[in-house]
Amino acid sequence: MKWYTHAAIGANAVWLTTLLGVVDERAPLLIGLGALGALLPDIDATQAKIHFIGGGFLKPLGQLSYHRRFFHSLLMVALLGLVSYLFLEHYFPGVSVCLTFGYLSHTLIDGFNFKGVYYLFPFVKKEYHLLPQWLRTPIGGLADHLLFIAGIAGITIFLLLYQNYFINFNALPL
């Protein structure tokens, strides 16, 4: 999928913070962290948008791993979740959830296209697909665009439903 589709879908991880009861003025930041988390699995792809955001200092990571292997694995999702929970969750509730589930969303929707993902890497070196071959979608195809629209719709609905939690309407100069 395209980078903006991953970001839009990953940003929807903010919905999980409603289950934790941590929807407050930090919601826009958590939306951004979900989107960032969704871009991180491509950290080893030198042509990925995350390299342009990082100013090129991430380029050596592209030489450490074949794309869609370690950084797309469920092991990496678990490691990110554990590290972000241990170091960030106490100070910033909801951050580890948004970052981790944004990251997970990327690996899952990459399983919809023709390339497949090494979900069980490094334990099982096999490419997996989440859809049968006749349903798989090309990058930039119709399903990619529909997922992007669904992601934007989800964030828009979240912002409309929970705006009172993070926008102080009394402070607006009306």
Residue 118 included in any domain: yes
pLDDT above 90 for 15: yes
Distances (CA, A) of 114 to 22, 67, 103, 105: 37, 14, 20, 17
C-beta atoms surrounding 19 within 10 Å: 9
Q: Is residue 28 part of a domain?
A: yes
- Crossing angle of the two packed helices 3-11 and 27-39, in degrees rounded to 10: 140
Q: Examine residue 173 and state whether it is found in any structural domain, yes or no.
A: no
User: Would 87 be classed as within a structural domain?
Assistant: yes
Domain-located, residue 172: no
The pLDDT, as a whole number, for residue 89 is: 86
- Is the pLDDT at 56 greater than 80? The verdict is no
pTM over 0.75: yes
Domain span at residue 42 reads 3-164
* 169 in any annotated domain: no
Question: What domain count does the chain have?
Answer: 1
Residue in the block written with tokens 């970052």: 99
Looking at every residue in the chain, the average pLDDT score rounds to 87
pLDDT digits (tens, 9 = 90+) for 89-117: 888 889 999 999 999 999 999 999 898 89
